[in-house]
Structure 1
Amino acid sequence: MILHLDELGFQSAQRDKEANLSLANPTIAVIIPTYREAANLPVLVPRIDTALRGSDLRGEIIVVDDNSPDDTERVCGELAKTVPLRLAIRRNERGLSSAVIHGMRMTDADVLLVMDADLSHPPEKIPELIETLCRPGVDFVIGSRYVAGGSTDVGWGLFRWLNSKAATLLARPLTNARDPMAGFFAIRRSTFRSAENLSPIGYKIGLELIVKCRCQQVREVGISFANRLHGDSKLTMKEQLNYVRHLMRLYGHAARRAFRRR
């Protein structure tokens, strides 16, 4: 099923019904933001479907694409013949974070799980993230590179590792999570709906949700983070500057919230 959101608007994407999370058998939506990732989807989507079916998890895959000039629409049409997949094509809006929010608003699933399309996040870890989120009191779960069982690809290099660590340290006043920069995470839909004025810049939507949804109990599941399979990285100097701007906004939001509590 293909939705052109800029043509149809958000009426069918935003649901008023509040889903109650069943700890025993939640429904899952796997949300994948894409831009020029057509070569990776035929590998990624079947692995996600296998991981869900293998754990008796009920769910769907939602691809939110920023009008890629490649075969994304055709590839998703073929995959949707055998896998519960929906594609939303955004004609007039761009950005990973806003694409994730679009996908989250398209579904009534109990659990919203986000991952990249480039095969850096292992779909086989999805059941463990879901199981962890369904424990009492847990607000947010991260597929983490920096906890026990986590690792990065040997091809990362010192500069990339230091860049990631520096970004994580800058976020430390906002959360104690070891890997808050991760793009592989799960959150309850009811928690997402409690968000305060989402206004993300750049790629770090997970950190935005931790702060704006007031996630107190954040858990991390170790994953092996791989280099992308096909295509080029979207991380540029512009995105690094966007991250600093994003942090300033989140610091300001946290400060205003603390002031209101006085």
Structure 2
Amino acid sequence: MKFGKLFSCLAMAGLFLVVASARADQLSDIKAKGTLVCGVVGTLEPFAFQDTASRDVVGYDVDFCKAVAKLLGLKAEPKVVSLEARIPELTQGRVDILAAVLGYNPSRAEQIAFSKAYFVSNQSVAAKKGAFQQRDDLAGKRVATIKGSSNIPLMQKVVPTAQLVSYDDAPSAFTALVQNKVEGYVLSESLMRRFIAKLGPSANIEVLSPPVGREYWGLGMKKGEPALEKAVNDALDALEKSGEAQQIFDKWMGPKTTYQMRRDFAVEQIKG
């Protein structure tokens, strides 16, 4: 009798593991529905923003989402998420992956899985021209950040006495700098230079050296999904090998754009 009960319990446990394993295969579920839902931040040009003519969300992150989806045999479905809600949207299953200016840090890596780096960003501080000679002169000063940004721990490390003031989005933080509500603003250099270029010489703002840090951005995925993680990384490797990764960069930030940037990185494993 006891043996029979033990056998029954073992059988049920085995069935549970099989069901759990099947449910854990997110890649199969995504392929079954035929679409890859990508969480993107829709207010950060050139990474993801609304095109004024088509009203579609476009940008560097969107193009990577579409390119990865295509290699997986799927249709991309970009979904706009806020910076603060990026990770909850992923972990709660409302998006499949994040292509959302997601910089790697150990705290985030405890919550989600990161793909290989598809963008590497210098994080820099901007201030009014002539106000400061270099980055560390902002010690004790008010510096704008974006809520939930990975720039916050970077700035706390290199200029620990800076008074960080968090804003809901990048435009609000930049406006605070323009209006002298803060003395500095820390952000990805590519985004910062876009804001400065839009205002032109009247902005009277410059990027200070040295950078706060160099940040590796990955596509975010749920933990415990090795098949999806491998498929996404294989797709990124293929985009690098084919030259499409370079083409996407040149389209949005290359020498012929407002940013006039050169790609000094390649798709690579993020080293935590």
TM-score w.r.t. structure 1 length? 0.25
Bigger radius of gyration: 2
Structure in which a larger fraction of residues adopt helix: 2
Structure in which a larger fraction of residues adopt strand: 2
